[in-house]
Structure 1
Amino acid sequence: MSQPLRFVYKVVDDCIIETDVYLPVVPSKAPTSCPVVLMIHGGAFILGHSKMVSMDQISDCVERGWIVLALEHRLCPQVDVLNGPMQDVRDALKWVQMGGLDSELAKDPKTFLFKADTDRIVAFGTSAGGHLALALGFDVDKPVLAILDFYGPKHFADPFWTSDIPEVKSILPTDLTPEFLNQVMDEKPVATQGGVSLEGQTSKGPNFQDPRQAYAFSHIANGTLMKAIFPSEDWKKIDPYENISSDLPPTFVVHGDADHMVPIRLSREYVKILREKGVKCDIIEVPGEPHTFVGRMKKGSETWYLQRKGFDWLQTIIESM
């Protein structure tokens, strides 16, 4: 797989927001219209960037003939989740739909034959990125064709979101002060890349000398994450669970049954209501896998083949158009 292209899809004040673009190998010399995957990284809406994704999953998509956009977005808490990450990925969708990607590809003789099939745009994300993928199905002018959600947070009125997470709390240093944590608010411009991957691609743990990482893990541990990134708690504006309707795009959920960071019961309940509303949907429960297993899974493993069913499902939706 070749190195990705890098394009700007949005500018907000002094914040430049970019995406990596991975192109399939298409032998034809005629202009080729390709399905597009909007791929969104995880990181509790506070951490992560476009390289903190599974290259094996990207390769799988590219080999199917799809263009993959690994999106950056503004990170909380300097912006809240609605006006930052959610708005950015929605603007990325509109950028592709309105010809922004095609315009960039047309500038280079090596890529000008590639075009985005704007009727076949799908969204995929892990953890917080799974939530952002789901957000491309509601409150947008033209939703994505289908959504693949890997263990995305949802149902924010559930008591879980105000509960401690002992597994994370046990690794927190005891000397983190509010003054130190709140240094994250002083970053300029608003960050689009930050901290450690929560997808486990590295054996190194969080760096608690970095205010951004310390801020994220402290709020996750203490059950205050959602309050920190969406202080109004007007969940209807951001929660996929509270926006379930019969008009949603087909949706597939992949979730590990040993997930302590986003309980699998939240995804089970979400899919149950989708079915009741008549939305085309399915769920794969991956045995023994915790949160953020995608970054650690080995290609060819049982987990690899189970999660790949989500991409096979996406392909059936794409090819049905």
Structure 2
Amino acid sequence: MIIRRITAAVALLLAVVLAAFTWIIASFRIPPQLVRLSYVVSNFGLYLVPLGLLGVLLAVVLYRRGVRRIALVTGLVGVVATVAACFPLVAAWRSAERHGADLSLANYLTYGANTGEPDASKSVVYHRIDGQELKLDVKLPSDGPERARPAVVWVHGGGWVSGDRGEAPKWHKWLNDKGYAVFAIEYRLAPPPRWNQAPADVKCAIGWVRQHAETYGVDPDRIMTAGGSAGGNLALMGAYADDRVKPSCPVPDAADTPDTADAPVAAVAAVAAFYPATDVARGWQDTTMRDTIRKAAEDYTGGTPQQVPEHYKLASPVTYVRKDLPPTLLMHGTRDHVAPYQQSTGLAAKLREFDVPYRLLAVPYGEHAYDFRWGDWGSQVSRHVFSEFLDRYFPANPSNNG
């Protein structure tokens, strides 16, 4: 009797959980309180299939023991949840097929998290300003270069108010393994407002890498920026922003020698942005996570879009779109409740208008920071698409690409 009651209670609890996840999968816009469940669907969705089958199994057990009402409810919810859990799975397979990517179940189950901390042994101060030491971590490929290698300036996320240069270490290693030097940077965080200072620090870091190219075996004319979320915004700003955003330190232009002190900011050769904020004012308006994201945006800009519209405009990469920008890769989850997917589609439309080469990867059912699960389907497809983008626009060995 006790075992039957415990089994019935577990079955009911499981039915509630499965019903919640089924609703999350079926709904596009969800309340902020339930966004964490959307992250589970995004990053652990495959595990919902056996969970749904467990509900069906418990239903069979309870039905045989005479607890038929609970068994029927649990069984029905289990079947529906199992079917619902297959939708993100099928969407991922179709996305992989569309982009020519291979999906690995073993990678999904074993690759773990893509999170980390700054590595003090690799840290270098690239700028001192406002009483702060701004650092970057230098991560080089293990093999010595036959020629000067390209560099990626990686900008961390965190809503412009948090985060550090240790973010996304598996992306750094992945790039190292492909022959790219990675410089994972930090920048001044808000508050106080940093809408013009954070992108200035990114430009400073790009210039620092160019100035120290010989030290690290880097080609000073082959630098790209990359990053996610606020880091995606700043990676785009470092690549797009004109002289309305000046570097926070003297930097050389690509054509200048490292000894040049007061040259204009150097352009980058390419940019990759994960789930970026491209139009900060629209992001303030459209985000589901309004309490969190609006506060971060206001801390960063110094007010609301109504109070400081110019700050929002100048902090948005979409403002600077014009001809001859570097090739751009955008990767964004279609279920992003922090920086909605439309942030990338809107920028893509502007890039298309000005004939800027770009590629947009839509990650089905992907949430914000989906790539923090390194084995997730979206992460696997992103690695394939990123690799193709690099091969086409920013190859590690240009001579091998014809």
**TM-score between both structures, scaled by the size of structure 2:** 0.58
Specify the SS of the correspondent of 2:368. Answer: coil
Match of 1:306 among 378, 381, 391: 381
Cross-structure match for 1:100: 212
How far 1:81 moved relative to its partner? 2.2
**What is the distance in 1 between the residues matched to 2:171 and 2:274?**
12
2:220 partner SS: strand
Contact 1:250 / 1:280 at 8 angstroms: preserved in 2? Answer: yes
Give the Cα separation in 1 of the matches to 2:162 and 2:130: 21
State the Cα distance separating 1:93 from its structure 2 match: 0.6
Higher share of residues assigned helix: 2
Q: Is the contact made by 1:20 and 1:69 (CA closer than 8 Å) also made in structure 2? A: yes
Give the total of aligned pairs. 249
State yes or no: 1:228 paired with 2:304.
no
Structure 1 residues not aligned, in runs of 5+: 106-113, 170-217
1:40 correspondence with 2:164: no
- 2:235 is aligned with 1:133: yes
Map 1:55-70 → 2, pairs under 5 A: 55-70=169-184
Residue type matched to 2:369 in 1?
T
1:97-176 residue pairs with structure 2 within 5 A? 97=210, 99-102=211-214, 105=215, 114-137=216-239, 138-139=241-242, 141-158=265-282, 160-162=283-285, 165=288, 168=289
4+ residue runs over 4 A deviation: none
Q: State the match for 1:201 in structure 2.
A: none
- Deviation of 1:142 after TM superposition, in Å, equals 2.1
State the alpha-carbon separation in 2 of the partners of residues 75 and 48 from structure 1: 9
Could you say which residue in structure 2 is the equivalent of 1:81?
A: 195
2:360 and 2:287 mapped to 1: Cα distance?
27
Residue pair 1:253, 1:310 contacting (<8 A) in 2 also: no
Preserved contact between residue 245 and residue 274 of structure 1 (Cα < 8 Å): yes
* Structure 2 spans left out of the alignment, 5+ residues: 1-118, 244-264, 303-307
The alignment's C-alpha RMSD in Å is 2.1
**Does the alignment pair 1:316 with 2:392?**
yes
Identity %: 27
Distance 1:6 1:164, change over 3 A: closer
Which amino acid is the alignment partner of residue 163 of structure 2?
Answer: G
Letter in 2 for 1:90: K
Q: Tell me, in whole angstroms, the C-alpha distance in 1 between the residues paired with 2:382 and 2:138.
A: 23
Residue 74 of structure 1 aligns to a residue whose secondary structure is coil
Report what 2:340 is aligned to. 263
Change (3 A) 1:27 1:18: closer
SS class of match (2:232): helix
SS of equivalent residue, structure 1 residue 91 = helix
Aligned-partner Cα distance in 1 for 2:188–2:387 = 27
Find the counterpart in structure 1 of residue 128 from structure 2: 11
Per-residue deviation, residues 100-159 of structure 1 (Å, max 9, x unmatched):
354xx4xxxxxxxx411111101110000000000012226322100001001022332x
> How many angstroms does 1:266 deviate by?
2.0
| CA–CA distance in structure 2, aligned partners of residues 95 and 87 of structure 1 | 12
Pair 1:302–1:78, CA change in 2 (3 A): same
Partner residue of 2:204 out of 91, 100, 105 = 91
Q: Which residue type is aligned with residue 241 of structure 1? A: V
Q: Which amino acid aligns with 1:261?
A: V
Equivalent position SS for 1:81: coil
Q: Kindly tell me: are residues 49 and 101 of structure 1, through their superposed partners in 2, closer, same or farther at Cα, counting changes over 3 Å?
A: farther
Whole-Å Cα distance in 1 between the matches of residues 356 and 123 of structure 2?
35
Contact preservation (8 Å) 1:252, 1:281: yes
Structure 2 residue 353 is matched with structure 1 residue 276: yes
One-letter identity of the residue aligned with 1:230: T
